[in-house]
Structure 1
Amino acid sequence: MAVTLGRNYTFVSEFILIGFSTFPHLQLMFFLLFLLMYLFTLLGNLLIMATIWSEHSLHTPMYRFLCALSISEIFYTFAIIPRMLADLLSALHSIALLACASQMFFSFMFGFTHSFLLTVMGYDRYVAICHPLRYNVLMSPRGCACLVAWSWVGGSFMGTVVTTAIFNLTFCGPSEIHHFACHVPPLLKLACGKNVLAVAKGVGMVCITALLGCFLLILLSYAFIVATILKIPSAEGRHKAFSTCASHLTVVVVHYGFASVIYLKPKGPKSLEGDTLMGITYTVLTPFLSPIIFSLRNKELKNAMKKAFLSKLYPEKM
């Protein structure tokens, strides 16, 4: 829907999400594939949370942070994927301005909360390996709660800043968003006015600075961790110390690897079409891989899952 403002401009009050309309013969296949991946993501994160809550041995800071990470991932995917799945089966892809702003806010909020929590988890591993005698003091229950709370506050702040900056612009049409969600670059293509370029640069700098800052803090944590591990005399001790970081480090590489492709890739004339397909990596694929990585690469969590759930299904084998 559009409202005429004058001879040159039309105010857009709702948008059309183009999504995967350029692949009409593949939409049913996309729907089934993304639905299965989404359900697996939900199940995997819920399983991790249930295991941590039910097993007293996992009531430690590392697993409390992992539980918070699973919660943020569930909310992040819920902000985007159900709408995307509905559009794959619908002929009407319109989304109201307020709904579009809400989707952008929650996706940025939970996305950045996820990044901040990964940074907190890196700090947790740094304290555990480099300062083990002070671990219980530095990572007390109150301290852990504060770190999680500040991660959510930081995510909310980032969501508010980005969404406010984008939706203070005037959208003059056309109303078609070349993406399956209310994504910043295609929305900026629809904006008009003198400050569009300044807003685009400002939002880009804020997002890149936040992500790069988190990534550098994680790298710094692991620089100290590696230096400490190399000082351990026994190979078994080094392996045991590094194994506690393996799942977190793998998720960090996947998370920031895909994020760097999205935010740092050069913008060409066909970038919007590429962004639609590239968006699947951080919207569907990364959340799908995260619970798999934590479940398979963390022996303590994997054994706890077997104890908590398989023993109830097959008590005679456990």
Structure 2
Amino acid sequence: MSILLSFRRLSARLRAASPRSIAAAATLLLAGFFLLDLGSGPTISFGLFYTLSVVLVAWRLGRAATVLAVLAASAARVADFYLNRHHDGALMLVYDLLQSAAGYGLAALLAWQGRQLFERTARHARHFQHQARRERRQRRLEATIRRAVLADVPAIIALTNAGGEDGAFDQNVMDAVRQAALTTTFSQGIIDGAALRDVWNGGQTVVPIEFWVSERNGQVAAYMMVLGVDGNKGPERELHALAVAPPFRNTGLGSAMVNFFCLRYQQRRLVIATKSDSQMMQMLVRRNFQQLTSDKGYDIMVRD
């Protein structure tokens, strides 16, 4: 455990070091091992340790610096070999230099690939962690959703009124007479599970209706109204209204409500009317909804 902790601390320090500091450290490493080579005579070679300098440069610095490090390590190894051991002429000198460059170049390539693999792994790990946190948050939010009861109607009306103020709903929902009518309609819809609605091809018909609310800390934080599309109680379900209380916006609650709608009615054809370029439109596109048509300034999105 202590070795792992030390490695992590060393890695953190290397990541925090400036390129100039890395270059200086690599140069000192190479010079130090070269001096050890010269002082140890022909019996001991430190040529393998030159790889540390090359790997350090390849891990943190660019391609040009890596090439220079490979050439410097190769030159140091060949210089020590010829100064301390033997002299076989210029051709052998070139051969040894190329051989050394190939070996240190391979070490640099492996270090560079290792860094790429490390960075990709780190990115994937961060992505999965973010995804896992988001999914946990979504599950917690979805766990707050329940079917509405009569006691929730005042809160639902208040959220509808807030939606009218924000422009999400028609302005007439803020009218006192309209709110009284909505209170009666919503209450009766919760009791009967059916309500009268306008249909797209004209006229009115009775359709199934369901209200769902998200309760957080004892407060109704959001609600959605789900309607049938026609009077024959067909398979379609429309997310007719969705409102989130201002304190709970931008917390993922709206997305959780849409997820709940898609999951709850996944065996049905789903319909949602939304404005173009809205946040709702973006959520629907991510959930494989497609535009069917446009009506009264709204895009009708469907998912089969």
Q: TM-score of the superposition, structure 1-length normalised?
A: 0.21
Higher strand share: 2
Higher helix share: 1
Structure having greater relative contact order (Cα 8 Å, sep ≥ 6): 1
Q: TM-score of the superposition, structure 2-length normalised?
A: 0.22
